[in-house]
Amino acid sequence: MNRADGPAAAGRGEPNLGPGSASEPLAVERLLDRPFGAYRMMVFALCGLVMIIEGFDMYMVGNIVPTLAQAFRTEPAMIALIFSAQGVGLALGYAIVSPLADRFGRRPTVLACILMFSLLTLAAAAADSVGQLALLRLAAFIFFGGVIPNVIALVTEISSFGQRQRVVVLLSALYAIGAATAGFIAPTLADRFGWSGIFLLGGSIPLLILPLLFLVLPESPRFLVLKDPAGDRAKRVIGKVLGEPLPADATFRLSEPVTGKLPAAALFAPERRRTTFLIAGMSAMSVLVLNMVAAWLPTYLHIYGGFPMVVAARIVATSVIGAILLPILLSLLIQRVGAPLAVAVCSLIAAGGLMLFAVSPLSVAVGVAISILFGAFVVGAQGGINAIASSAYPTEMRATGIGWTAGFGRLVAIAGPAIGGILLAMQFSQLAIALVFAAPMLIVAVAALALPRQRGE
């Protein structure tokens, strides 16, 4: 990130934005550093709603494993095939769909992907076997993989320099709230309407908000300026964000590097290679734990703790408490010590919290403690990693950078649900499961501390 993109840019003089002639290109970074108006807040709120819905859709299956196993007359461990299919779809979506946004824009990519994901999720309600459901989830999650990176990229590119990492952390927390909501809602709906009712709900809600997103969601102003600094569309969007008209002949500039390379190639340029590999490794280990815990902890509590499945799912759903509380602390910590050190601290605390699964006998209090610490520090670490990725790359490659590093993480993390199923099938001890949960978070902490310091941080 170029220093000129940061607070120092605010000290330069810029022409007034009232009627008249623009004597020189206006710095987009300085314009976006202005206080948030109603329109920008509305965009953030809609993006947050998308993250909540996507979090619900991502983790709803993990809360109805016994119901699915009973409906398809199979063992619970076989449901790992569905989790693995979702992981493959996400990896493909991050790798293939997300980079399209660096060419065609964030807005059309997000809208098209939400539409296709919704339709495929609705189709999944009619599946008649685990294999068919897994294939439909794989297809749906290819499009799911085009939503999250581009929502993060859009919010980053409409935010001020000082707020962007904290806003991304908040978005990640809203995603976690959606995931936790699945723990409260999914088992109850499954008991009343069967497993297909969950998929009907998960596909209908994003489809219902799609018209609102079409009307309100803007294109990224930074992306528009990168493509056409004097274009009418950039002028219109920036004026809408600022809430005031711009000069008729206004042009704009970005104070960040432009390599001119293909985004995928630029990620591995010598000056970014180390950062890209470390962020991808952190993402892999963090999502590995997220997938294992979210997919299997309700079932583990049911089997190892003897809790009814509905109770176990609600215990895990208390992770929402941590997911709500931590972003406030994490944003302050990021402001004070930077995102890499904040992620390292979160990861170390997360590893300690997950080791509580070794406590025997498992009580409700222990289950709640594990869930809250998971929601606060595992999910918090993932939010910090997203914040690092969103700031590590310039506009021309941001969606690709977020998508490819997250995609690599998802590719590795496909093993998470499978590992969880193997641990269950082979009847591993609680201590062994706790160690498998905790070890990847220690790797995240080490990788975060090894990240090169970003310019302007």
Backbone phi, psi, residue 253, to 5°: -145, 155
Element holding 302 (H helix, E strand): helix 273-304
239 is a domain residue: yes
HSE toward the beta carbon, residue 142, CA cutoff 13 A? 12
Q: Considering the domain boundaries, does residue 390 fall inside one?
A: yes
Alpha-helix residue ranges (DSSP H) falling in 338-414: 339-354, 364-373, 379-392, 398-413
Residue 457 domain-assigned (yes or no): no
Which CATH number characterizes residue 91's domain?
A: 1.20.1250.20
Does some domain include residue 10?
no
The encoded tokens of residue 292 equal 């294992």
437 Cβ contact partners less than 8 Å away, ≥ 6 residues apart: 289, 292, 293, 354, 355, 357
What was the pLDDT predicted at 259?
64
User: The tokens of 392 are what?
Assistant: 């590590």
| Residue 339 lies in domain | 24-450
Let me know how long the chain is: 457
Q: What is the pLDDT of residue 454?
A: 58
Q: How much is the pTM? A: 0.74
Inside any domain, residue 9 = no
Q: How far is CA 432 from the centre of its chain?
A: 29
Render each residue's pLDDT in the chain as its tens digit; 457 residues. Answer: 343 344 333 343 444 444 444 457 777 778 888 777 788 889 999 999 998 988 888 878 877 888 888 888 888 778 878 878 887 888 888 888 878 888 889 999 999 999 999 999 999 999 989 899 999 999 999 998 889 888 988 888 888 777 777 788 888 778 877 877 887 788 888 888 888 988 999 899 999 999 999 999 999 888 888 888 777 888 888 888 887 777 777 788 777 766 666 667 778 888 888 999 999 999 999 988 987 887 788 888 888 888 887 788 888 878 778 877 777 777 778 878 888 898 999 999 999 999 999 998 888 999 999 999 998 888 888 888 988 988 888 888 888 888 888 878 777 877 777 787 788 778 888 899 999 999 999 999 999 999 986 544 4
Q: Is residue 156 part of a domain?
A: yes
Q: Is 129 within a domain?
A: yes
Tell me the C-alpha to C-alpha distance, in Å, between residue 210 and each of 52, 94, 112, 156, 333.
Answer: 14, 21, 10, 21, 35
Give the number of other CB atoms < 10 A from CB of residue 52. 20
For residue 6, is it within any domain?
Answer: no
Number of domains in the chain: 1
CA distance 348 to 104: 39
CB of 102 closer than 8 Å to CB of 399: yes
pLDDT score, position 453: 66
Q: Is-contact 366 152, C-beta < 8 A? A: no
